[in-house]
């Protein structure tokens, strides 16, 4: 294994995108191997690299790690983005859980039928503006700091910014009623490592397109339609 983490996934967002975000936020360079064929996937399976027969998979520090949450937790702890004590870590986990739930509504969107996409868009906006964003708006206002937890940049901040930008891609003015989140977005986006990741030419992936969807379906043999929430 090389010195840099190596990411095995599709050339698109999916569950690997949050891992890319966190590594980039930590200023860590990484390599990627994109799955484009079923044979590549079968080779990983036969080689025993995929513990639960699924990706993402990340080679890091002599390990082949699977399970997105485990990978993210390891990276956050390794690069001091996981709070200073157990209480802060519990808060970070709580906020991550919320943003994960919100992202879940968006992640399935490219795999839906045209009819279901219209319905799902309404669900995404409704959940963001009535369930999730009000929580983070209040946290930032009550906390009075520039970050969600303590007074230091953490995994929770990275994940929330990723979620905000994902929702804005569906509804550009979604933050119009959330001044704290508007300020948070501007503040976190200006952190040098984040700013670099947001620039053209970075390893950040674009909104999933038809090619990405077809590649995932072909490699994983998804011969069914995903159902909306």
The CATH number given to whatever domain includes residue 122 is 1.20.1050.10
Q: To the nearest 5 percent, what fractions of the chain are helix, strand and coil?
A: 60, 5, 35
What pLDDT digit, counting tens, does each position of 104-130 carry?
999 999 999 989 999 999 999 999 999
Indicate the number of domains in the chain: 2
Indicate whether 72 and 162 sit together in one domain: no
Indicate whether 64 and 114 sit together in one domain: no
The C-alpha atoms of residue 204 and residue 35 are separated, in whole angstroms, by 17
Residue 94 lies in a domain: yes
Whole domain around residue 25: which residue ranges?
A: 6-79+198-220
Q: Which helix (H) or strand (E) holds 200?
A: none
pTM: 0.95
Residue 228 lies in a domain: no
Residue 169 lies in a domain: yes
1 falls in which pLDDT band (50, 70, 90)? very low
Indicate whether 96 and 167 sit together in one domain: yes
Report pLDDT for 179. 97
Q: Annotate 43-60 with DSSP letters as a single string.
A: HHHHTT--TTS-S-EEEE
Classify strands 31-34 and 63-66 as parallel, antiparallel or unpaired.
unpaired
Report pLDDT for 220. 92
In the Cβ-directed half-sphere of 182, how many Cα atoms lie within 13 Å? Answer: 8
Indicate whether 26 and 46 sit together in one domain: yes
Residue 229 lies in a domain: no
Contacts (Cβ under 8 Å, ≥6 apart) of 113: 225
**CATH code of residue 215:** 3.40.30.10
> Mean of the per-residue pLDDT values for the chain?
94
Indicate whether 62 and 99 sit together in one domain: no
What pLDDT digit, counting tens, does each position of 134-161 carry?
999 999 999 888 999 999 999 999 999 9
CB 58 within 8 A of CB 44: no
Residue 41's Cβ-count burial label (10 Å; 0-12, 13-18, 19+) is buried
Residue 1 lies in a domain: no
pLDDT higher than 80, residue 32? yes
Residue 116 lies in a domain: yes
Report pLDDT for 222. 81
Indicate whether 72 and 17 sit together in one domain: yes
Report pLDDT for 57. 96
């Amino acid at each position: 294994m090389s010195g840099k983490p190596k990411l095995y996934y599709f050339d698109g967002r999916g569950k690997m995108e949050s891992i890319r975000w966190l590594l980039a936020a930590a200023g860590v360079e990484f390599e990627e191997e994109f799955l484009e064929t079923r044979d590549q996937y079968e080779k990983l399976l036969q080689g025993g690299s995929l513990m639960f027969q699924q990706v993402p998979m990340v080679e890091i520090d002599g390990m082949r790690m699977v399970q997105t949450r485990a990978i993210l937790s390891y990276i956050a702890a390794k690069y001091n983005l996981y709070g200073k004590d157990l209480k802060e870590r519990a808060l970070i986990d709580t906020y991550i859980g919320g943003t994960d739930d919100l992202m879940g509504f968006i992640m399935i969107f490219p795999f839906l039928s045209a009819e279901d996409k219209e319905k799902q868009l309404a669900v995404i906006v409704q959940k963001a503006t009535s369930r999730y964003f009000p929580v983070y708006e209040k946290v930032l206002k009550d906390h009075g700091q520039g970050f969600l937890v303590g007074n230091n940049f953490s995994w929770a901040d990275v994940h929330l910014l990723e979620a905000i930008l994902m929702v804005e891609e569906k509804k550009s003015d979604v933050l119009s009623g959330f001044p704290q989140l508007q300020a948070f977005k501007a503040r976190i986006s200006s952190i040098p490592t984040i700013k670099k990741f947001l620039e053209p030419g970075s390893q950040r992936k674009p909104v999933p397109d038809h090619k990405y969807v077809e590649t995932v379906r072909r490699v994983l043999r998804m011969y069914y339609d995903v159902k909306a929430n």
